[in-house]
Amino acid sequence: MIICSCNSLSDKDVVSAVQGGVCRVSQVYASRQCRVQCGQCVRNMACRLKEALEVRGKTCAEDIVAITDLPSRANAKPMLIDMEKDGAGATVGV
């Protein structure tokens, strides 16, 4: 299933990223050499990442936004406040 239409990221990309050691949303994008574009997918990406980590038995709780605390789609901007710089100096959502 496609999670991010801007970057054509699927749930399989998330699973593959977790197998590669990823445990942050920004790392999923970085593993596919892309970054968040419109932000509509971040909530779904966080859900899929959490599920993939649970299946693998990994815990990165401090790095994953609590899914229940994410704002509704109508109020998505606050979700993008938690930003970091990637290796190239670009700002990416986490």
Tens digits of residue pLDDT in 15-66: 999 999 898 999 999 999 999 999 999 999 999 999 999 888 866 654 444 4
Q: Give the pair of three-digit tokens for residue 1.
A: 């299933």
- On whether residue 27 sits in a domain, the answer given is yes
Give the number of domains in the chain.
Answer: 1
pLDDT-derived band at 13, boundaries 50, 70, 90: very high
10 has pLDDT over 80: yes
Measure the CA–CA gap between 55 and 94, rounded to whole angstroms: 21
- Flag whether 47 is in a domain: yes
In a domain? residue 51:
yes
On whether residue 49 sits in a domain, the answer given is yes
Pick the more confident residue, 84 or 7. 7
- What does pTM read for this prediction? 0.62
13 three-class SS = helix
Residue range(s) defining the domain that contains residue 21: 2-78
Average pLDDT over every residue of 66-86: 43
Nearest to 67 by CA among 83, 53, 48, 52: 48
Per the domain annotation, does 89 fall within a domain? no
